[in-house]
């Protein structure tokens, strides 16, 4: 499980939080909930796809034992990912609620992030 071996984590699988995501805050609570749903759906899909792809690759290379080992190596990120997804979803809902109550704050933050891109 912790043994050294080839790692199949691809650079495209590692996602960073792009700055443009921070600039596009939800306009209201409805949009915040919609974005939160989208984030949760994407998180579940990505996690399932990663586990499936890892198991399939390891099974091709090393058989059933490799598939089990590959899945076991995916447990730590799989345990942490729901916390990250829940945090981002909550941020969307709360951001939408705040922006619905105080739209002027959204405009100020939008300008702040725009100035940083120049």
How is the chain split into domains, by residue range? 24-117
Q: What is the pTM of this model?
A: 0.66
Which candidate, 77, 76, 57, places its Cα nearest to that of 15? Answer: 77
For position 10, what pLDDT does the model report? 45
pLDDT bucket at 104, cuts 50 / 70 / 90: confident
Q: Look at 72 and 111; give whichever has higher pLDDT.
A: 72
Average pLDDT over residues 49-68: 86
pLDDT digits (tens, 9 = 90+) for 16-35: 555 555 557 888 899 999 99
How far is C-alpha 7 from the chain's CA centre?
Answer: 20
Q: What is the mean pLDDT of the chain?
A: 79
**DSSP state, residue 12:** G
């Amino acid at each position: 499980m912790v043994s050294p071996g080839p790692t199949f984590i691809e650079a495209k699988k590692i996602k960073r939080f792009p700055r443009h995501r921070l600039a596009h805050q939800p306009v209201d609570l409805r949009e915040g909930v919609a974005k939160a749903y989208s984030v949760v759906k994407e998180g579940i899909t990505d996690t399932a796809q990663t586990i499936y792809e890892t198991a399939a690759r390891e099974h091709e290379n090393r058989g059933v034992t490799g598939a089990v080992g590959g899945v076991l190596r995916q447990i730590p990120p799989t345990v942490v990912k729901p916390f990250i997804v829940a945090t981002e979803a909550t941020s969307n809902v709360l951001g939408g609620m705040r922006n619905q109550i105080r739209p002027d704050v959204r405009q100020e933050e939008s300008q702040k992030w725009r100035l940083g891109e120049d």
